[in-house]
Amino acid sequence: MDNNKKRHYSPKKRTNSKSNAKRSSDGKVRLNRFLAQAGICSRREADTLISTGLVMINDKTVTELGTKVDPTTDRVKYDGREIKFDTLRYFVLNKPKDFITTSKDPQNRKTVMHLIENACIERIYPVGRLDRNTLGVLLFTNDGDLAEKLTHPRNNISKTYLVELNKKFEADHSKEISSGIELEDGQIHADDLYFPNKNDRKTVVITIHSGKNRIVRRIFEHFDYQIKKLDRIDFAGVTKKNLKRGQWRPLDEKEVGFLKLL
């Protein structure tokens, strides 16, 4: 199916499909998992929302952790808004330039949500960020737990970038980046760094696990290189698989399974 063909969905027709979340024999799930699967936050963050009295079940405030809810009959509200128990969705977008990685932009600039808006009826969100001029792999999901896992620094999730520079890359700089360089916010090193074409010394592939802001650009700027093109080609093992710029696809079962095992 052409994934850029507009689909006509009505928000009023949202249905609660069979869920991936674990349910007890009575069909109930823990409230924190309910909120995570609805894309509100991670389960850990949901515990905070619950304990501070920000969540209601059937118009009654609940603060007890471990509370369970029946997705088919109970009405759950957060911040006055009714929350739906959605099927978990996972997508990858080949992000083009000039799109902001955010759900909303106060300056009304183009956001990645404009590119993915017809992917599904569930509310999905970008996992992490790519700056406006960076291309490539960007994941989307409504799985709050997985999004937290993929973005939390302690998990050392790898990202691989294809970098085009304004001049030839020096071998000595490669050694320094691999062993570690000191930037203004601490030391950083590459997990892998190589030339995809030995005859092209201006194009480099670098793999890192750091999620620091603009980290790849800052690594090369440290040696006075200018990046002409920055393209993320792999994030946590997920690639573009020949997607054209601006196109998306759902992750397959193997990809989702791999991400959950990380």
- Residues carrying an active site annotation: 131
DSSP helix/strand/coil, 170:
coil
Phi, psi of 242 (to 5 degrees): 65, 20
Residue 241's contacts (CB-CB under 8 Å, 6 or more residues apart) are 249
- Cα 173 from Cα 57, distance rounded (Å): 58
- Cα 262 from Cα 260, distance rounded (Å): 6
Beta bridge partners of 204: 163
Phi, psi of 138 (to 5 degrees): -135, 125
Residue 124's contacts (CB-CB under 8 Å, 6 or more residues apart) are 39, 89, 91, 116, 140, 141, 142
For the record, the structure tokens of 178 come out as: 């691999």
Return the closest-CA partner of residue 245 out of 254, 256, 236, 233.
233
Q: Evaluate whether 232 touches 139 at the Cβ level (below 8 Å).
A: no
- Cα 92 from Cα 224, distance rounded (Å): 32
